[in-house]
Structure 1
């Protein structure tokens, strides 16, 4: 009996599906392109940081001041006028604060060696664990003295080179600061121009409404967060500065300003502030027990701010998990140094808000968010196993 030919498509069940292979290849190609784009973006951010850093700072400053501009717009003040007043006020506040703090900060930098000696004297009873470090430092001093003997060549940088380098750094910093304030002024004074451009980019009315709603929500949440956190950090720095001044800590205004600035670095900033205040208090007061009151006060202020004030005012929705924060701080500090570390958390919040408003990016936003409800992973796994059985 002659066998009939097999029907089309009724072959081996294990034969590969061409459409599935095509989809897999497309997905792989798309992933490779995304990875290449991310690497190129990191490369551009690193080598073109002189351009990108002031531009991103200007956008963050504009977003921080946007709620105030919006409030003044509702009360009849034009956007260009309110933007000019706010940018000038911000520049004056930063300039005056920098001028008032420059003297004490320079004195602290010049007296670093003296502070180190005083701290070593105060902690003489705890010197045994550090004997090895002291021995290494003495060896380094011996090598330094040997290098100053005749017959050994010494390499020194010419004073003119130092002065030219310092002048170049000052000029570069001044240019960046000018770009930040001027660009933020134009961004704030533009009003609804960017919203109109976004609306004109979509053909249908429904798409225009959806795009405008998303853009308004993102801008409102980010600006509210940045302004609120800035005000909270300024209040925290003021309270810490006044408290340290009442305790008699020298240069209390410097440590209050440092606490406000470093509080943009969650966890790490508070730790740095506590360490600095502890060192200054130990060398400033006679008794160690009284000296420890200053860092204890800073810890109390940080706990109240981190556990009660910020979650209550900002809300739980925009909280970021600690792992993502530390990774972002490490990445941006490697990319742009200390300024990048300060911008790490605000940029992370910007990314999270954007991801929350787009369905395709919602898993990324969910990964960045802090977890408030416990999920029993083992229970879910057991349930899946039971269902499969």
Structure 2
């Protein structure tokens, strides 16, 4: 007589819970919406890069110069004046660098074929095992050329519109630079207006305080990081340029600027700088032993900067693991080319700082961090005290 209620209870337990199914459906729908949102965001960033690229660069430039504007405001200089002076100084630096680098860079691009030939000649002793293969390829090429009928003419298709394409690229680059500098000027001159608008969007006083703390902490950390890294990279480029000039390397200004820019790409940028300097040194100096001094000096500077200067100045808190760095560089270089690759790590730092300030995104910030944060949990002991777990 008592088994029937138990059996009926078991049958009720086996029935599906409508609330659990509703939660599962809601979770699935939320995941699908997030996936669609991410896909559409990547789609928009790729096809609207002419708009998003200068806008994001303007925000990064404004964040880089924000600590200087705040420091000058404490000294009594209005934000509009300091922002205008800093943006004008940035324009002058960019224009001067472009003017000084245009000639050597154009010469290097025009002489790429001769540079490759000279490099091949310098490395002749290292390619002796491949000489037989090279001779065979030349013989096959000669046989192919002699086997052609005399009546057949080669037709070369000339590309049209080269001048118009170059003019279009120059116009788009000028438009992008104008957007970057003008928008960064407005962002710097506006001061705390955007932060106040964000805080005013919250209702309660506690939410306003929390939003104010998060916004100012994020802005301070990102601005400090970008400005510090920019100064470190500029110093690294200066040291490398002066050292290569002392070694007699041609165009040391080009390699100093290249080292400063490529150092925004951790690991990859330093390797690219060393390889480029090694190639130019091999074709510029008479002996290979002396030519190896230039890339060795660049390697030494990169080791000192990466292992001592940057960790000591920036600190370990904003270090990012190498896997995330390589994924970010590959993604942004596919999305926006070389400019996107240079922006990859600063944008990754921005994402990490935002994730560290929100509990729901803490797992993302933990994944991006170079080392996992160890949290010490205190447990009560028998005597009533607390001991670390």
Could you say which residue in structure 1 is the equivalent of 2:170?
Answer: 170
Cα distance in 1 for partners of 2:149, 2:230 equals 50
Does structure 1 residue 81 correspond to structure 2 residue 57? no
Could you say which residue in structure 1 is the equivalent of 2:281?
Answer: 281
Verify the 8 A CA contact 1:147 1:154 in the aligned structure 2. no
Aligned residue runs from structure 1 range 203-222, under 5 A:
203-222=203-222
Deviations 1:128-150 (CA, angstroms, capped at 9, x unpaired): 35444786588679979979985
Following superposition, the deviation at residue 22 of structure 1 comes to: 1.6
Does structure 1 residue 152 correspond to structure 2 residue 174? no
Count of residues in Structure 1 that have an aligned counterpart in Structure 2: 373
Aligned residue runs from structure 1 range 29-44, under 5 A:
29-44=29-44
Task: Identify which range, 95-104 or 133-142, moves more after superposition.
Answer: 133-142
Cα distance in 2 for partners of 1:7, 1:320 equals 57
Cα distance in 1 for partners of 2:157, 2:192 equals 59
TM superposition score normalised by structure 1: 0.90
Verify the 8 A CA contact 1:328 1:344 in the aligned structure 2. yes
Following superposition, the deviation at residue 74 of structure 1 comes to: 0.7
Deviations 1:141-171 (CA, angstroms, capped at 9, x unpaired): 997997998533321123xx11111000000
The SS at the match of 1:11 is helix
Could you say which residue in structure 1 is the equivalent of 2:238?
Answer: 238
TM superposition score normalised by structure 2: 0.90
Aligned residue runs from structure 1 range 364-379, under 5 A:
364-371=364-371
Could you list the runs of 5+ residues in structure 1 that have no partner in the other structure? 376-389
Cα distance in 2 for partners of 1:148, 1:310 equals 66
User: CA, structure 1 residues 218+156, in 2 after alignment: closer, same or farther (shift >3 Å)?
Assistant: same
Could you say which residue in structure 1 is the equivalent of 2:91?
Answer: 91
Following superposition, the deviation at residue 28 of structure 1 comes to: 1.1
Following superposition, the deviation at residue 16 of structure 1 comes to: 3.1
Cα distance in 2 for partners of 1:310, 1:273 equals 18
Does structure 1 residue 261 correspond to structure 2 residue 261? yes
Following superposition, the deviation at residue 194 of structure 1 comes to: 0.7
The SS at the match of 2:30 is helix
Following superposition, the deviation at residue 20 of structure 1 comes to: 1.9
Aligned residue runs from structure 1 range 34-183, under 5 A:
34-131=34-131, 132=133, 150-158=152-160, 161-183=161-183
Cα distance in 2 for partners of 1:104, 1:155 equals 31
After superposition, the CA RMSD in angstroms is: 2.5
Could you list the runs of 5+ residues in structure 2 that have no partner in the other structure? 376-389
Following superposition, the deviation at residue 46 of structure 1 comes to: 0.2
Verify the 8 A CA contact 2:277 2:294 in the aligned structure 1. yes
Following superposition, the deviation at residue 192 of structure 1 comes to: 1.2
